[in-house]
Amino acid sequence: MPEHQISYKCTYGSVGVVLIASLLFGIIIGSTGPTIDTMKNEVLDYEGNILRLPDDSDYVVFTSPQAAWYSSLVALGALFGAMVGGPLLNAIGHRHTIASTCPLYFASFVILYTSSNTWLLYLSRMLTGIAVGVNSLAVPTYITEVSPDKLRGVLGACNQLCITIGILVVYFLGTLLTVGEEAGGMKLSGADQTDMLGPVPDGVFCDWRKLALINCVPSLLLLILISFIPESPRWLASRGRITEALLAHTALRGGYADFHEERELIYLDVLYSSRDLKEKSEGVRSIFHELWEGRMQLMISILLQFFQQFSGINAMMFFCTSIMRSAKIEAATTISVTVMFEQVIFTALACWLIDKVGRRVLLISSSAIMTIACTVFGFYFFFQSLREDFQFTPLVFASVYMYMAAFSLGVGPIPWLLMGEILPQGIRSTGSSIVTACNWAFAFLITLAIGPLKELMEYHGVMWLFGTCCLALMLFTIFCVPETAGKSFYASNIYL
C-alpha cells in the first residue's frame, strides 16, 4: 500500500494509553518533594526556623531516618520490579504486564490514605516501587516496538515527558492540598528549638493523604484503557504468533501495512522458530549466549543509566524543596513547582529535537551544561558555608534551572530511548530488565546515600560530585555511544 494511506492514529492512541503509566512513574518519584518534610515534621522556612505540627498529628508518621528509608524504598521496590518485569514481559506481553501493575498502584495509594503505621507505609512505597520498576522497562520497549522508524524518537521521548508531567502535577497538587491552621502547627527558632516564635500560617504543611487519594484515579484509568490497545507486533512475532503480529501491525497503521515493517516481523518469526529449536536442544545456554553476543549494547545501556542516576537527578527530584530551603530561598515551594514546570517544557522540546539533531548531540551538550550547573551550585553552597549570611539567589536560580533544562533535553529521555533501540530483539526483554534493574539499584544507592554524603561533604561537595559524574557522561558519550536516529531496528542492533 502507498505510504500516504497509512494512518498512525491507533499508534498515537496506544502510546497515549501506556503513557499513563509514565505519568504515574512521575507522580511516585516526585511525591516525596512536597510531602516528606510534613511526614517527618521538619519543615524549614527560609530563615532556618523549624515549622512543626503536634507530634500526635495524623500527618506526622516518620522520624528523619525513617523518612530516608521511605524515600529510598521506591527504588528498592523498582529494582525488584525490574528484575521480575523482564520474565513477565517475555511470558505475557506488554499489555498484560502493564495492566498487572494497576492493582499495585491502587493498593499502595489506599494504604497511604488510610494508614499511619510505619511498616504499612513502607509496604505502600514498596508496592509503588515494584509497579514503577515493571513499567519503567515495559513502557519504553512497547513504545519503541509499536512506533515507525520516523516517529520512534519523538514517541520514545514522550515517555520522559509524561514522567516530568507527573512530577509537575504532584508538586502543584502538593502546594494546593495543605493542612489548615486548625492543625495547630508552631514555629520554633532554628537556633533554640525550645523558643516558640508563634503559630504557623496556613498552607505550610502538605495534606499528603488527600494527594494519595487523588492518585488512585490514573491507576484505575490505565487499567480500563489498556484492554483497548493492541499488543506489540514485534513481541507477537518473536513468540511465533505471526498471524496475530500482522493483524496488530495493520491495526496500528490504520488498517494498512508497511511493507518494510511486515518484512521485519516475518524475519523475527523465522528467527523465533530457529531459536526455539536451539533453546530446546541447548536450554538456558542459548540465552546466555545471546546476552554475551549483545554485551556491548548491554554495557552501554547500563553505563548510561549509571551516569543518569549519579548526575544527581533523583536527589533533585525527591528533595528539591528541601534543597531550596537549605539554600535559604524564601519561596522554596513555589520555586520547586516552577522548576518542575520548566522540566516539562524542555522535555517537550527534546521530543521535537531528538530526531532532528540526533541522540549523541543532545546527550553530549546536556551533560556538559549539567556539569557547569552542578559546579556553580556547589560554589554557592561553598560560599554559604564560609559566610552564614551569604545569599545570592540569582546564582541558585541559574544553576537549578540550567541543570533541569539540560537534564530534560538529553540525560533524562535518551538513555531510556537508546535502551529500546540498541538492544537486539532476542535479548530485548531480558536485557531491558537487567538495565532497568541496574538503574533502580543506582537510584536506591544515591537516594539512601544523599544524607550521609551531605554530612560528609556538605552540599557543595555533593554538587561537585554530581558535576564530576556529568563530565564523565559527556566523555563516555563522545567515545562510546552510537547514533541511532533514523536507523531501523536491524541497523541499530548490529552496527555496534
Residues 31 and 59 in one domain: yes
239 and 221 share a domain?
A: no
**pLDDT, average across residues 368-373:** 94
With respect to residue 475, please indicate whether it lies within any of the assigned structural domains. Answer: yes
Which CATH number covers residue 214? 1.20.1250.20
Considering the domain boundaries, does residue 389 fall inside one?
A: yes
pLDDT of residue 495: 42
Check pLDDT > 90 for residue 131.
Answer: yes
Please check whether residues 186 and 263 belong to one and the same domain.
Answer: no
Q: Rounded distance, CA 454 to CA 436, Å?
A: 27
Read off the pLDDT of residues 28-42 as tens digits, 9 standing for 90 and up.
988 888 888 889 888
| Beta strands across the sheet bearing 196-199 | 43-44, 50-52, 186-188, 196-199
Dist CA 424 CA 494 (whole Å): 8
Contact at 8 Å (CB) between 79 and 455? no
Q: Are residues 403 and 483 in the same domain?
A: yes
Q: What is the pLDDT of residue 92?
A: 92
Question: Is there a single domain that holds both residue 75 and residue 143?
Answer: yes
Q: Is residue 330 part of a domain?
A: yes
What does the alpha-carbon distance between residue 174 and residue 33 come to, in Å, rounded to a whole number? 9
The verdict on 279 and 307 lying in the same domain is: no
Whether 161 is covered by a domain: the verdict is yes
Residues 225 and 244 in one domain: no
201 and 154: one domain?
yes
Which of the listed ranges 342-346, 364-368, 410-414, 428-432 does the model predict with the highest average pLDDT?
A: 364-368
The pLDDT value recorded for residue 86 is 82
Domain boundary among the residues 266, 283, 300 is at 283
Q: Which residues contact 371 (CB under 8 A, 6 or more apart)?
A: 467, 470, 471, 474
Q: Is the pLDDT score of 275 beyond 70?
A: no
Nearest CA-CA partner of 73 in 122, 14, 138, 5: 122
pLDDT band at 182 (very low <50, low <70, confident <90, very high): low
Q: Report if residue 2 sits inside a domain.
A: no
Same-domain check for residues 26 and 112: yes
b/e burial code for range 129-142 (CB count within 10 A of at least 16 → b): bbbbbbbbbbbbbb
Choose one of 283, 301, 320: the last residue of a domain: 283
* Mean pLDDT to the nearest integer, 482-487: 72
| Whether residue 341 has pLDDT greater than 90 | no
Of 398, 378, 387, 333, the residue nearest 175 (C-alpha): 333
Looking at the structure of the chain, the number of domains it has is 2
Claim to verify: residue 105 and residue 59 sit in the same structural domain: yes
Instruction: Among 220, 252, 283, give the residue marking a domain's end.
Output: 283
For residue 443, being part of any structural domain is answered with: yes
**34 belongs to a structural domain:** yes
State yes or no: pLDDT of 343 exceeds 80. yes
Boundaries of domain holding 256: 233-283
Mean pLDDT of 362-372: 94
Average pLDDT over residues 411-438: 81
Q: Give the tens place of pLDDT for each residue, 284-336.
A: 556 676 677 778 888 999 999 999 989 988 767 655 666 666 666 666 667 77
Same domain, 207 and 324: yes
Cβ pair 133, 101 in contact under 8 A: no
**Does 1 map to a domain?**
no
> Could you tell me if 327 and 410 lie in one domain?
yes
Q: Residue 494: is its pLDDT beyond 50?
A: no
* C-alpha cell, 342: 520548566
| pTM (global) more than 0.85 | no
CB-based contacts of 340: which residues, under 8 Å, 6+ apart? 30, 164, 167, 168, 171, 172, 320, 404
